[in-house]
Structure 1
């Protein structure tokens, strides 16, 4: 009989163990979330070398900041991906560059790899895809530029020519629509 994939409760238990200094818990969390974390980092940074470094830094930061995890604010996966996202933004801002899509970079098979069974629920992906496709294309692009491109509101204003208030309003509206559509 195949092993059952870890659940959110299992991941929360691992965080508690990590808070207690259990190095095995960090290893288990790495096994559970490294693949999806790497893909997010690669999407944001484009460079595989940078993505690998941020992946490693993410789990070092997770080890140091496990005590900040609050289950009321999201899942362990969300916490890990938020750490990675912030580290990617730091890297982007530090090098004063934005990710430039290289020929075929977005067609890279790494972006098409499914997450390990332990962290990927096909129903979740269908819900995410449906929620994103329900957004107007311009709002979806603003979200992608903000999240994956690391652009600030002011930079999005300069890129799109939209007023700052409009950019902020569209982003907020898009996030609220996503939240609404993602609710069970």
Structure 2
């Protein structure tokens, strides 16, 4: 689904082209980020069908919101994954309000986001795995529940019994530690 990582300058150029309405820019961004975006969606939604729909919606929304991209706030990949994350959360919240069985859903224990897809860079894989292992178990669990389970801070507070401020502090500390360990 995706090729080797594209340098940030090139992806920035692609988002600018998308903002200007150039043909091919959306396809190039899709080719670059669809693989990682799909893996995040599957991990969050546990349904390949839902993940495929959210993947498509992500790139439609990217096209509509390209003008909102700010390179000072993050990379193009972060922008794309943020859109996908929000769409997954919307879908998860809809599911909670209308519970239903998910045919073909993966058993969470059997499905591992960090499973090595053939197009994934082994060095990136090792960095992410190492960074996650370096977190305390409680912090790692909070991150997984928030990003992949779709839980809000308030819901995490209710699930863990921790005060809201503690949940927010642990999540921020964990994210900073991940950033520190995975960014060059």
| TM-score in terms of structure 1 length | 0.84
The answer for the alignment partner of 2:175 in structure 1 is 175
8 Å CA contact 2:58, 2:87 repeated in 1? yes
Q: Report the counterpart of residue 22 of structure 1 in structure 2.
A: 22
Task: Name which of 107, 110, 115 aligns with 1:107.
Answer: 110
Cα distance in 2 between the residues matched to 1:108 and 1:134: 21
1:64-143 matched pairs, under 5 angstroms: 64-96=64-96, 104-108=107-111, 112-114=115-117, 116=119, 120-143=120-143
CA distance in 1, matches of 2:47, 2:136: 29
Distance 1:103 1:58, change over 3 A: closer
Shift of 1:94: 2.2
Provide the rounded CA distance (Å) in 2 between the counterparts of 1:110 and 1:161: 27
Counterpart residue number, 2:148: 148
Per-residue CA deviations over 1:54-88 (Å, capped at 9, x if unaligned) read 10100000101111112222221111111100111
Please tell me whether the aligned partners of residues 33 and 77 of structure 1 are also in contact (alpha carbons under 8 angstroms): yes
List per-residue Cα deviations over 1:93-148 (Å, max 9, x = no partner): 123269989564553488635263xxx44333322222211110111000110111
Segment of structure 1 superposing worse, 4-13 or 15-24: 4-13
Runs of 4+ in structure 1 displaced over 3 angstroms? 3-6, 97-106, 108-111
1:58–1:84 CA contact under 8 A, matched in 2: yes
Pair 85,127 (structure 1): closer, same or farther in 2 beyond 3 Å = same
